[in-house]
Structure 1
Amino acid sequence: MLTKGSSGNHLAGVLRSLVSKEHTVTIFSKKTTRPLQADITNLDLETGAFDLIVNYEKSDIDSYFHQGNLSFDIEVPPASDEETSEIYNFEKIKAKPLKKESGVYEIKCQITDELFAREARGAVRIPFILGMRAQANLEVYTNELLIKGRVRNLSTGGCMVDIALEDSLPLYVTQRLPSVTIEFPNGDYFHSPGGIRHMRPFGNEGHAAVGIEFVDVNHDMENALYRLVSESERESAYRAGIEGRGVSQSPVFIPRKKESGILKHDAHKSTEPANAPPMVKGVRSIARQLQAVLIFIKNWSTFPEETLYDCTDSLIYLVKQDRKALLYALSYLQDQPEWVRHAIQVAGSLADMIVLRDPYSPHLRETVAGTLMHTMGKPLLMSEKLPSLKANMTPPQKEILLGHVDKLLEKITALGWYPSKGCLDIIRDANELLDGSGYPAGKTADELSSLVKRVSVIKAVNKYTHGRNGVPPRTPLDAYRWVHENDALFDRTILIEYIQQYGLYPIGSLAKFSRGFLAWIMDIDNKGIPTQVHVVKNLTFIDTRIDIVLSSTDFMQIGRLVGIVSPNDYRVEHKH
């Protein structure tokens, strides 16, 4: 261990460095999938005391504490596209909640002066703080799937790796990894097999933290590991401002002259754009929570029902608050995993259609909950035979994927969760078709509820207006035409209602205008004609981004509406 000789609480100094920038504090607990947002105040650099201010309406805040301790993440967004998010987790902080007023808690916290934590197995865990970087490559299936991430802490027993939340889909606790490789900026490396000990969402959005234990480490790599841990301890102490014998910058964190690929690795850019509509935050929070539900059901023995219904109620609330704003916000899910994007967009459209017909429908909540869940069996099927849901699938892989409904039903039954009839109908029957050619049971029209038939139409339109498995997306008109021509599969009456409600230029679609401008449709009139757009590109200057909102009175600046186009064809996305 290093010998320190300076005063003050060094961990508090690290905390101050993080909170002095734009940041998000997220309190987490293994007992719940729902994180809490907090603000840090009254930080004392000498004693390490500080307060966390939390807005929380429920009475179970104690579920975030364990033996008087609290854990939280701090995420600092990247300052530029060349940088990555800085996330640091503070674990087992002494804390006591005080209820200040209704829905507001002040949590009194006390941080220790120990920069390096000692693990239960005796090893010292070194935090990678204030820009320390090392890349981790996790081989999930031998010669099949490699996940890249960023090391967040390291010990002689294991490490914690920050990966994109989407990349966590094939991982589960107790899983054996054929190889874990850690590469430092100067090119030094360590590798060994590994085992996953824990996993959870990490930071505010878009990340997962994977705790890995090194196993079967050979003698040479064991020596390398001890040296790299020692160098990491030295660097961490140096960056934290600890003075003393042996404290100096470590050469393993100095990049080679030829810039290493490690510095270019992006540990997943996250969060919604600064100028995004307010409702985008709510929609992306639902996406995060849905993925947290998946992590929970894969790795724990209970079903997080409360989180599912939090997502459900949030989506219904957003529909009732401003349906058009929600429809536009749903288009900001393009960067989410396909199963998440599809589930939330279909659930949002379904809620919208039901609320317009009957705002007090007794079936609304359970139907939306089932729709949010109905694709979750797909990531549960990932294995060596189905290593990814993103790549173009082979016929055998497509056949495996057809089992996703049964897989999900099997999983929730094993967890002892029994959904209501309305919720179960959607989970079980959303992929059935009127003529009996759907799956998993091949049910026909008279065996399907009216709500299942409605979900089926919404799913079909959503599926064909988004590219998947190498098939380019159709325009809304072409998707409508395809569903209409296949009236043996889908209810034509529901399709007509859908077209009347969303039109040929649905909110959230990308439109092309005659003067070469591309714009996202934000609003339409009763005839389905766009009345407000967000202009993002002029094809004359293809690499220049525009950020202008225009109403129909100003459309003369961009020309007449030509039609709906695919964002992928023009490399256009809602900027993150």
Structure 2
Amino acid sequence: MTEQDPTKEQDHGYSSVTKPSEVETLLGALSEPGGASLVLENSDGRVLPVLVAEQVFGEYLLLDLTAIREVASELRGGHRFRLIGQAQGAMLRTPLLTIDNCQETDGRLQCRCDYPYELEVLQRREAFRARLRLGMEVGAILRCQEDGTHSQGDLRDLSLQGCRLELPVGSANMLTTSTPLDIELCFLNGARFSIQGIPKHHQVDVERQVVSVGFQFMTPRTDQERQIWMFVGEIERESARQSSDRDDGKLRSKLFQIDPKAPAPVARRDAQVYATPMTKRLASVAGYLDSELLELRDQPQLHSVHLSRYADRLLALYDEDREALLFATRCLFQEARLVRHGLSVAVFLLDMTVRSKMPRDACKAIAACAMVHDLGKGLLPNELLQAPRLDEAQRAELHSHVERLEPSFETCQWLPSSIVRSVFREINERLDGSGYPAGLTGERLGELPRLAMVVDVVDAMRRDRPDRPAWKIKDVYRHLLDRPERFEQRWVKRYIRNFGLFPIGTLVRYESDQLAWVQEIDAQGQPARVQLTDAVKPPDRSLGEILQGESLLALGKPQEEVPLSM
């Protein structure tokens, strides 16, 4: 039977054809040899050949399934499917159909299905690009047959003519060739699709450490073209499902569901080498924030379900190993500055709130707000963010990042408004009224924003800015302690007691001149476990031996922090 949708609401990018004569004409195109393909509902991405042997207007379609007998039993059992094809320069597909009668005739397996009174048509098929949204991850492997090099990245959009990939910035040297490159798209459910393409343009994003590459496909074969159509359609259906303001019961496309039996996921971050196992796990949260930042530029709303899911993941990582998580925040040097800062503030603020015995739901909401508190800066011109000096007008524009992002929280009903106000809106206020966006003074600020502003400032001052290098932690502490009119001294002192004079993630030079990364501190705030390094650079897999106890004492006393450009 034909799936009926009483609302007649179509997915983004598709139009509905219901006029009987037009439906009959379009179905006629599917009846041409090679004109139709069959796609099982919730399939693994396979596009199966099928012959529309006959159409009887208003009654049924007769399908020849001889070439796909392996799925005939599923179809006879009621498994729903769509017919897809092309007509009049457009991609078309039927609603979901089911088989209701089959018979063998002269060695041919022929089955009937209900006549579809409506078709969905995707216009501008050559130019239309289906853009992958947050949560629709598709990995990509790029290979050069000439020299055997390869790179791993993410699919960002797809059309019949080509695709756009994001690859690690080090992949740029692969893009100078005029020889076609092999592109393999890797879906979460294990479906794979291979095609050749030529890089036509690319742009390096230094901040995000990626190169965005537009590929033009070599002339696809008919079967490849149909496969691409199916992918484009599923991407658009999933995008429409996510955009729906109501729960209409649409199931998520199987292409974007993780199959535990499928090979390991392929993505840009999966190919990167991280300093510690915890850093790799935290990178998945960084990947969410990076995607959220890109989404906000096109659609100004936070994705409530994803924000909740990754806040839960952050809490789970904290429960697993507090010290490892704190150290991991200093190891994600490949990520954008806004992502690194948001994650670090979230983790350090989470640690303070957990140790203050706040309820777990409140800790989760606080961490979530901290993760995204600065993403509004991503909506500002890059020239403003990189300016070494700001005049009054530029400073006012920079401060507008709060108002730019604030409406996005309307979709996150699970976040208490008091926590959104305290962590997101008031984290940049100061007790003396010198902060922004409202210039609130101490009597109007609660305990949570007083704590949040301390955590935020410490992390910001320990990172490079266009107008200054990173500060040493001792100088940051002195700055806060010398300004009781701006910062709540009780929280400043509690922060120092909690994280010590050499916080986890600090690069320290010892009396022996040995460099080491602090990974744990003792009750006196001194390093209790460190990992050796020979280089003044962000931590990576080249880190050396881990020392604690007597072996750590052999290094002598810690002499100074070595600040890094991070």
Deviations 1:36-95 (CA, angstroms, capped at 9, x unpaired): xxxxxxxxxxxxxxxxxxxxxxxxxxxxx99535579xxxxxxxxxxxxxxxxxxxxxx9
The Cα shift of 1:293 comes to: 2.5
The Cα shift of 1:454 comes to: 0.2
Alignment partner of 1:528 is 2:543: no
Alignment partner of 1:329 is 2:341: no
Deviations 1:133-158 (CA, angstroms, capped at 9, x unpaired): 99xxxxxxxxxxxxxx9999998855
Partner of 2:340: 341
Partner of 2:479: 482
- Give the one of 17, 42, 60 matched to 1:68: 42
Mapping for residues 53-92 of structure 1, pairs under 5 Å: 67-69=41-43
Mapping for residues 382-397 of structure 1, pairs under 5 Å: 382=381, 386-387=382-383, 389=385, 392=388, 394-395=390-391, 397=394
* Higher-Rg member (1/2): 2
Partner of 2:417: 421
Between the aligned partners of 1:467 and 1:416, the Cα distance in structure 2 is: 32
Partner of 2:177: 185
The Cα shift of 1:380 comes to: 1.9
TM-score (ref. length: structure 2): 0.55
Cα contact 1:517–1:558 (8 A) shared by 2? yes
Deviations 1:267-295 (CA, angstroms, capped at 9, x unpaired): x9745875743322332211111222233
Cα contact 1:128–1:153 (8 A) shared by 2? no
Partner of 1:375: 374
Cα contact 1:133–1:150 (8 A) shared by 2? no
- Give the one of 160, 164, 176 matched to 1:160: 164
Query: Which ranges in structure 2 are unaligned for 5 or more consecutive residues?
Result: 1-10, 13-38, 47-70, 80-89, 92-121, 129-138, 147-152, 181-197, 225-266
Deviations 1:82-118 (CA, angstroms, capped at 9, x unpaired): xxxxxxxxxxxxx9xx9xxxxxxxxx9xxxxxxxxx9
The Cα shift of 1:344 comes to: 1.3
Q: What amino acid does structure 2 have at the position aligned with 1:435?
A: D
- Give the one of 395, 403, 424 matched to 1:406: 403
Q: What amino acid does structure 2 have at the position aligned with 1:420?
A: P
Partner of 1:113: none
The Cα shift of 1:437 comes to: 0.8
Q: What amino acid does structure 1 have at the position aligned with 2:143?
A: G
Cα contact 1:206–1:270 (8 A) shared by 2? no
Mapping for residues 103-252 of structure 1, pairs under 5 Å: 121=124, 123=126, 131-132=143-144, 157=161, 159-163=163-167, 184-186=176-178, 229=218
TM-score (ref. length: structure 1): 0.55
Cα contact 2:167–2:211 (8 A) shared by 1? yes
Q: What SS is found at the alignment partner of 1:506?
A: coil
Moved more, 330-339 or 401-410: 330-339
Percent identity among equivalent residues? Answer: 26
Q: What SS is found at the alignment partner of 2:331?
A: helix
- Give the one of 495, 499, 522 matched to 1:498: 495
The Cα shift of 1:409 comes to: 1.1
The Cα shift of 1:552 comes to: 3.5
Does the C-alpha gap of structure 1 residues 416 and 546 become closer, same or farther in structure 2, counting only changes over 3 Å?
closer
Q: What amino acid does structure 1 have at the position aligned with 2:516?
A: A
Deviations 1:524-570 (CA, angstroms, capped at 9, x unpaired): 1111111211111168xxxx9552211131135544321111134xx
Between the aligned partners of 2:355 and 2:288, the Cα distance in structure 1 is: 26
Between the aligned partners of 1:315 and 1:402, the Cα distance in structure 2 is: 28
Cα contact 2:202–2:213 (8 A) shared by 1? no
Q: What SS is found at the alignment partner of 2:464?
A: coil
Between the aligned partners of 1:346 and 1:474, the Cα distance in structure 2 is: 16
Q: What SS is found at the alignment partner of 1:308?
A: helix
Aligned residue pair count: 375
Cα contact 1:206–1:271 (8 A) shared by 2? no
Cα contact 1:339–1:375 (8 A) shared by 2? yes
Cα contact 1:155–1:229 (8 A) shared by 2? no
Does the C-alpha gap of structure 1 residues 276 and 484 become closer, same or farther in structure 2, counting only changes over 3 Å?
same
Q: What SS is found at the alignment partner of 1:324?
A: helix
The Cα shift of 1:124 comes to: 11
Does the C-alpha gap of structure 1 residues 389 and 69 become closer, same or farther in structure 2, counting only changes over 3 Å?
farther
Cα contact 2:167–2:268 (8 A) shared by 1? no
Partner of 1:434: 431
Cα contact 1:516–1:538 (8 A) shared by 2? no
Between the aligned partners of 2:293 and 2:315, the Cα distance in structure 1 is: 21
Q: What SS is found at the alignment partner of 1:520?
A: strand
Between the aligned partners of 1:502 and 1:193, the Cα distance in structure 2 is: 43
Q: What SS is found at the alignment partner of 1:547?
A: coil
Q: What SS is found at the alignment partner of 2:516?
A: strand
Between the aligned partners of 2:340 and 2:438, the Cα distance in structure 1 is: 25
Q: What amino acid does structure 1 have at the position aligned with 2:533?
A: V
Q: What SS is found at the alignment partner of 2:529?
A: strand
Partner of 1:103: none
Mapping for residues 275-290 of structure 1, pairs under 5 Å: 276-290=275-289
Does the C-alpha gap of structure 1 residues 337 and 391 become closer, same or farther in structure 2, counting only changes over 3 Å?
farther
Between the aligned partners of 1:411 and 1:347, the Cα distance in structure 2 is: 19
The Cα shift of 1:422 comes to: 2.9
Partner of 2:545: 548
Between the aligned partners of 1:536 and 1:315, the Cα distance in structure 2 is: 27
Between the aligned partners of 2:145 and 2:414, the Cα distance in structure 1 is: 45
Partner of 1:296: 295
Does the C-alpha gap of structure 1 residues 69 and 380 become closer, same or farther in structure 2, counting only changes over 3 Å?
farther
Q: What amino acid does structure 2 have at the position aligned with 1:287?
A: A
Q: What SS is found at the alignment partner of 1:567?
A: coil
Cα contact 1:522–1:534 (8 A) shared by 2? yes
Cα contact 1:430–1:455 (8 A) shared by 2? yes
Q: What amino acid does structure 2 have at the position aligned with 1:536?
A: T
The Cα shift of 1:406 comes to: 0.3
Cα contact 1:291–1:340 (8 A) shared by 2? yes
Cα contact 2:293–2:375 (8 A) shared by 1? yes
Cα contact 1:432–1:441 (8 A) shared by 2? yes
Between the aligned partners of 2:166 and 2:274, the Cα distance in structure 1 is: 27
- Give the one of 453, 456, 459 matched to 2:453: 456
Partner of 2:113: none
The Cα shift of 1:184 comes to: 4.5
Does the C-alpha gap of structure 1 residues 439 and 554 become closer, same or farther in structure 2, counting only changes over 3 Å?
same
Q: What amino acid does structure 2 have at the position aligned with 1:434?
A: L
Q: What SS is found at the alignment partner of 1:423?
A: helix
Does the C-alpha gap of structure 1 residues 496 and 301 become closer, same or farther in structure 2, counting only changes over 3 Å?
closer
The Cα shift of 1:330 comes to: 1.6
Cα contact 1:377–1:407 (8 A) shared by 2? yes
Does the C-alpha gap of structure 1 residues 497 and 133 become closer, same or farther in structure 2, counting only changes over 3 Å?
farther
Does the C-alpha gap of structure 1 residues 535 and 298 become closer, same or farther in structure 2, counting only changes over 3 Å?
same
The Cα shift of 1:192 comes to: 9.1
Q: What SS is found at the alignment partner of 2:561?
A: strand
Cα contact 2:202–2:211 (8 A) shared by 1? no
Partner of 1:250: none
